[in-house]
Amino acid sequence: MTVIGVVGAGVMGVGVAQNLAQTGHDVVLVDTNEEILAAARATIWRNARMSRLMGGPALDPDDVLSRITTAVGAEAVAKADVVIENVTENWDVKRSVYETMDAVCGPDTIFIVNTSAIPITKVAAVTGRPDKVVGVHFMNPVPAKPACELIPGFHTTAETVERTRDLLTAMGKKAIDVKDACGFVSNRVLMLTVNEAAFLVHEGVATAESVDEVFRSCFGHPMGPLETADLIGVDTILYSVEVLYEHYADSKYRPCPLLKQMTDAGLHGRKSGRGFYTYAN
């Protein structure tokens, strides 16, 4: 029986764990403490219960949760056949997680890097299995999105790519092949858009509501860039832009000061109850 480890029980990790469980996979979901894991289980149960109302399949939330085991510490994925990592876009944190996983997991375990911008080859280099490290950039909310980017690193083998593609197909995802470059395709474009939209608010050119209304009404987008920032997480947006800025050394990726201030103030979007907009509990 294939066991999938999911490291990180934040917004993305919760979505990945739910998507795996509702498609029949056994999951070990891990994070740093029991409080985070309890909140993750409650979120998965609620999201599964609401799935049909939100346009997804009808799900039994208890059945979905029955396939998910939770545990504290990355060591808990030692017996997993595949591990999907979803921790924050902070290189020091990611590096530590991969060093731990590499030490405890079997030599055939595949590591899937779910990252917004960090190059896959950089992650693979801190492991002893660079041939079994591959990137998958899932979109949020994971269970509702039909596609994702599939990114092999420099040393990733064709076998690793195909095993990962098979898993994504089983999850109901279309894998779009993308080469390993910081930000890949989606976030090379999206993060610039969100960052510039934040600059418009920062400079007083328009309110967040007006910026998003232009994108919805003029371009037909279902969500504006700042609504999207709140959904992804304002802090995640900032970290991703910072990674792009550091990697490319290009001023076009200079992070908007407003994103920094909001992150420091805890205004992280939907997950904190307030970002560019305020959300009910």
CA pair distance 181, 116, nearest whole angstrom:
11
Side-chain-side CA neighbours of 182 within 13 Å: the count stands at 18
Query: Is 149 a residue of the active site?
Result: yes
- Residue 183 annotated as binding site: no
Q: Name, in order, each residue with C-beta under 8 angstroms of 68's C-beta and a sequence gap of 6 or more.
A: 17, 21, 27, 28, 29, 41, 44
- Residue 73 annotated as binding site: no
- Residue 9 annotated as binding site: yes
HEC string of 238-274 equals HHHHHHHHHHHCCHHHCCCHHHHHHHHCCCCECCCCE
Q: Pick the catalytic residue: 47, 85, 137, 240?
A: 137
- Residue 80 annotated as binding site: no
- Residue 11 annotated as binding site: yes
- Residue 204 annotated as binding site: no
Q: Pick the catalytic residue: 47, 114, 116, 240?
A: 116
Helical (H) or strand (E) element with 19:
helix 11-22
Q: Pick the catalytic residue: 187, 195, 240, 242?
A: 187
Cα distances (angstroms) measured from residue 61 to each of 26, 43, 55, 64: 15, 10, 16, 5
Query: Is 137 a residue of the active site?
Result: yes
Query: Is 86 a residue of the active site?
Result: no
- Residue 75 annotated as binding site: no
- Residue 86 annotated as binding site: no
Give the residue numbers of the binding site: 8-13, 31, 89, 94, 116, 140, 271
Q: Which of the residues are catalytic?
A: 116, 137, 149, 187
Give the residue numbers of the binding site for NAD(+): 8-13, 31, 89, 94, 116, 140, 271
